[in-house]
Chains A and B, each alone.
Chain A
Amino acid sequence: MIKLLNKIRRTGRVAEPAPPRPPLSCPKAERLAGSVQLRHVDAGSCNGCEVEIGSVFGPVYDAERYGARLVASPRHADAVLVTGPVTRNLAEPLRRTVAALPEPRIVVAVGDCAINCGEFKDAYGVVGAVEDVVPVDVKVPGCPPTPEAIVTALRGLTGR
């Protein structure tokens, strides 16, 4: 009976149950206390990481339940999610975007390309990895990183 009621209550729920909570990933995240607003910057990626980030905020992984939310303006954001190697055209805009955040700001490099240029190392249009342009606080390896890995990184920021 209780099982039937629980089944009815969970009808339509697509989200998977939450894995165990990871520790805080960087000291700046202490001030966030369960709420982080993220601004995503595509510095030159192949969009593979964007697909994974999209599914992170979708119903199955539901990163919003941990207090993370995507916002449009960097002034509203606490952290910047950077994907892809930093191409020549996006180097200065990336610096400006990160500089527009209020302090203390956090930069999360998502994907192998953001961490060390991955497949596009020494390409002609690439300036370098993200940490060559702006200081990076959290790294999420993978090509592309699994949604679980991204969720773990985000939970490391919010602490939920």
Chain B
Amino acid sequence: MPAHPGGDRHGVAGVDWPVNLIEWGLAGATGVAVLGALVALLTPERARSVVAGIAVAGVGGAGLAAGVAAIAGEEFTAHLPELLPLFGVTLTLDPLGGLFMAVAGAVCLVAAGYGVSYAGGGHGNRSRSTQATLPLFTLTLVLVPAAGSVSTLLVLWELMALTSLVLVFTDHRARPQVTSAGLWYAVMTHLGFVAILAGLVVFAAAAGGDTFETLRTAQLSPGLATVVFAAALIGFGSKAGLVPLHVWLPRAHPEAPSQVSAMLSAAMVNLGVYGVIRVGFDLLGAGQRGWWLVVLILGAASALYGILHAAMASDLKRLLAYSTVENMGLVFLAVGVAGWFHTLGEERLAALALAAGLLHVVNHAGFKTVLFLAAGSAVRATGSRDLDALGGLSRRMPVTTALFAVGALGAMALPPGNGFISEWLLLQSLVHPPAGAGVTTALVLPVAVAVVALTAGLAVATFVKALGVGFFARARSRAPEQAVESPPLLLATTGVAAAACVALAVAPAALGPALSRATGATLGVPTDVVSGALTVRLAGIASTISPLLILAALVAAVVVAALLVQVVARRPARRREAPLWDCGAGPPTPRMQYTATSFAEPLQRVFDDVLAPETAVDTHLASPYLLARMRYQRRLPDRIEHWLYRPVLAVTAAAGRAARALANGSVHRYLAYGFFGTIGLLVALVVIP
């Protein structure tokens, strides 16, 4: 039981609840998770996924309720000194944390239902380790935004990393590349953890305490604050997929089972953003302008790099993973702009930019869940992730195609999708510069708009490719020809996520109060950033938009267009079916269709310098004039991996080889190490007072 039950009890929605929703929600979540994990370990294989699914749904639902309560104004602080040695566990929840907790809870709730039915596909999905770890992973996702002290955050962060690692390794027996992907993920997430640990421990040492309240009131020198922020940015940024620390994301996210991919991409990466906002704005008190310029630049680079690689990817899930990198880049761009304006004193614009970033987190969670779940259905039905081998699914799996189309509309950031609204908010925060803006602002803002626009354009191309090549036209190989529509539970859960996307698309102003509270809690400035019911109105900016009216106008216009045809053609001719126009040469084979690689080829040529694909041509001659066999291979590796990681790995390997010389087997040398080490230590103890 918590030592100090609840803080003040501010009524939720004006009603004084008899219990603290957050307290019960978090306690319930913990209980359900631990119990669920234990029961899942003991149940036989057939029922295991159901048990785990129920547990995950319980945790997710509790997290969603607690998060919503926090946004609605309920406060919560709890200190549990017995749980951790030295510092104990401190939990606090404010509207910002509540937003991230609600998003994580909602995503896990949907993924839980999906996972129950998905696990029937085999591939070791129902193994004890996976099913028992799922509730624990969900619990960490829900609890990280509630962490109130450095040690709590670190413990929960590491638990999250470990549980997600187990989940990523689920299919390692079925596919060898899972092991490699898991290894990359393990190393990078722990390097990130070390960075966070270093930064926060330095911070706590300088502040003289462990809890966030102590850290908030600490006075740090600018240099030390920059070091702490840099360490936090590296650690949290790598979890969110910030370039150049993103290389694990496109490797690990596709290899996990689809509901885990959804949880990783739509819930876990958000916590990286949460960490940067919490440390940068809240704990360090918004610091220096240079920090936020760096965040902005890294976010812009992530967005461009991510979407460029997504446009080139022909593996469906890798495409979605790179799209996550892109969207998190956009969120970091928004956070950077918010910090920039905050340090300039432009609170309204800062609140708007931060609200845009938070809304994009919510929208991205929505459409990325739909996309990963629908893609998972397609992969499950065809057994292939390769877009170049898919196609023709719109006839065999119509509901899945329609759901993927809803997610793709959100990802393309086009009206009337939900991604458009958050992008609109972000652009509004960029295109209304304050009067008397300096040279840096005058240069940064137009370039930021150009980057956001180019990212949006490339996202349109990417998702037209994913939807058009993967789902429409005809099957390019045997497997999609025999695909069968997914079981109803998979469709239902994906449909729930799609319905959430549609709701976010037509009524984004409903989230207005939540966004205002979250930005107010972070920036310390109470503003009514986004308001209005039918029309979205902004504080201090004259632009307005009404997504519902746009949708209604579109529907009306399509009806008018259909009527126009009837009016102009007094006797409309009967429609008939005919074979495709094949230029007279005979029916085109499905292999003649454009593939994902060919679709992206013009873009690849335009961005050749950044992408630098590798081609290898192998020819075998039967005679000087006759070609027997020819092999053409094209690879598009991640260039950052090539330029940044391979040298580092090479140096580390070389250092390791050199260090082996230290341990050459001679006992005399080892004794000498011990002897001289002791002498040195004694001398140091004498010399240093």
Contacts and interface: CB of A to CB of B under 8 A. Distances in A.
Contacts of B584: 90, 92-94, 96-97
B578 interface: yes
Interface string A60-100: 00000000000001110000000000000010111011011
Interface string B569-598: 000010010110111110000000000000
B578 A99 contact: yes
A52 B581 CA distance: 28
Contact of B581 (A74, A94, A103): A74
Contacts of A93: 583-585
A97 B573 CA distance: 21
A90 B579 CA distance: 18
Contacts of B582: 96
A32 to B, nearest CB: 13
Interface string B504-520: 00000000000000000
A136 B138 CA distance: 73
A75 B578 CA distance: 10
A83 to B, nearest CB: 15
Contacts of B578: 99-100
B527 to A, nearest CB: 56
A74 B579 CA distance: 13
Contacts of A100: 578-579, 581
A25 to B, nearest CB: 22
A117 B637 CA distance: 60
B224 to A, nearest CB: 69
Nearest to B575: A102
A103 B578 CA distance: 11
Contacts of A73: 581
A103 B574 CA distance: 10
A73 B579 CA distance: 14
Nearest to A90: B584
A59 B584 CA distance: 31
A100 B578 CA distance: 7
B250 to A, nearest CB: 40
Interface in B545-583: 573, 576, 578-579, 581-583
Interface in A99-113: 99-100, 102-103
Of A73, A92, A93, A96, most B-chain CB atoms within 10 Å: A96
Nearest to B578: A100
A75 B585 contact: no
A59 B576 CA distance: 38
B581 to A, nearest CB: 5
A9 to B, nearest CB: 35
A74 B581 CA distance: 8
Among B573, B582, B584, the most chain A Cβ lie within 10 Å of the Cβ of: B584
A139 B579 CA distance: 28
Contacts of A103: 573, 576
A75 B583 CA distance: 11
A94 B582 CA distance: 12
Nearest to A99: B578
A92 B587 CA distance: 12
A100 B583 CA distance: 9
Contacts of B585: 93
Nearest to A73: B581
A75 B582 CA distance: 11
Nearest to B580: A100
A86 B155 CA distance: 82
A97 B583 CA distance: 7
A153 B630 CA distance: 54
Contacts of B579: 100
A102 B572 CA distance: 13
A137 B566 CA distance: 30
A93 B573 CA distance: 26
Nearest to A96: B584
Interface string B451-468: 000000000000000000
A103 B582 CA distance: 18
A90 B585 CA distance: 9
A103 B576 CA distance: 10
A96 B582 CA distance: 8
Contacts of B576: 103
A22 B578 CA distance: 35
Contacts of A96: 582, 584
Nearest to B582: A96
A97 B581 CA distance: 8
A99 B580 CA distance: 11
A100 B581 CA distance: 6
A42 to B, nearest CB: 11
Contacts of A74: 581
Interface of A: 73-75, 90, 92-94, 96-97, 99-100, 102-103
Interface of B: 573, 576, 578-579, 581-585
A-B residue pairs, 3 tightest by C-beta? A93-B584, A96-B584, A100-B581
13 contacts: A73-B581, A74-B581, A92-B584, A93-B583, A93-B584, A94-B584, A96-B582, A96-B584, A97-B584, A100-B578, A100-B579, A102-B573, A103-B576
Given A96-B582, A100-B578, 13 more contacts: A73-B581, A74-B581, A75-B581, A90-B584, A92-B584, A93-B583, A93-B585, A94-B584, A96-B584, A99-B578, A100-B579, A100-B581, A103-B576
